[in-house]
Amino acid sequence: MVKNSKIPSASLERVALYLRCLEEIKSKGEIVISSERLAILCRTNPAQVRKDLSYFGEFGVRGIGYDVDELIKSIKRIIGADREWRLCIVGIGNLGLALVGHENFRKRGYRFMAAFDIDPEKYGMELPNGIRIQPLSEMRDTIKRLEIQIGLITTPPSAAQEIADMLGDAGLSMILNFSPIQLRQKEGCIIENVDFTVKLDNLAYHLKELEQDE
């Protein structure tokens, strides 16, 4: 059970990272892990690991560590990774195609149920996972009929806000935006913006600093 409903987003992201590290060491046959080792694997510190996990309850035994399998099950239950989530995607260009075909979505329980685009020439085209591209006019009915829960946006920036509004009007409260623009959120709708160029700018800054130190 989550102890604190106001959990920092950074802690949630780290807990998801802990899950991936735990799954990796479980695959190697390890059954117990300390906060020190988990911190090293996840590039953080033991105090941060313990603090992040404390938001969700009491885990581990002092002096022994965490039972890997039990901690995996607990984290999956906490973050909702122990069930299937239904997705739709809007904008089937190169990025959209890459995301739909990405094996990691299926492995982690995220299932693409529908795909939409504005280009009539793409309507009816079958994607690698078997779904067919539909026009935007079918979005609302399809989302309700298939009980879709999360929408992904991979459209050009000029169309992204309109699409986000359409997804919200269709009943979605969770949107992941890959378009390089910060979208306005309607009340009751959470939007996560994923801008690859921001990450590249961060790398460019560090590269510049390294060059200046030479």
Question: b/e map of 111-146 (b: 16 or more CB within 10 Å)?
Answer: ebbbbbbeeeebeeeebeeebebbeeeebeebbeee
For the stretch 138-167, pLDDT in tens is 999 999 999 999 999 999 999 999 999 999
List 133's β-bridge partners, or say none.
Answer: 115
For the stretch 91-135, pLDDT in tens is 999 999 999 999 888 888 899 999 999 999 999 999 989 999 999
Cα torsion 140, 145, 147, 151 to 10°: value is -30
Give residue 214's pLDDT: 65
Distance CA 94, CA 90 (A): 12
For the stretch 63-75, pLDDT in tens is 788 999 999 999 9
Give residue 64's pLDDT: 83
Domains in the chain, CATH or no CATH each: 9-79 (1.10.10.10), 85-197 (3.40.50.720)
Q: What is the reported pTM?
A: 0.80
**Res 1 pLDDT > 80:** no
Give residue 5's pLDDT: 53
Distance CA 188, CA 173 (A): 6
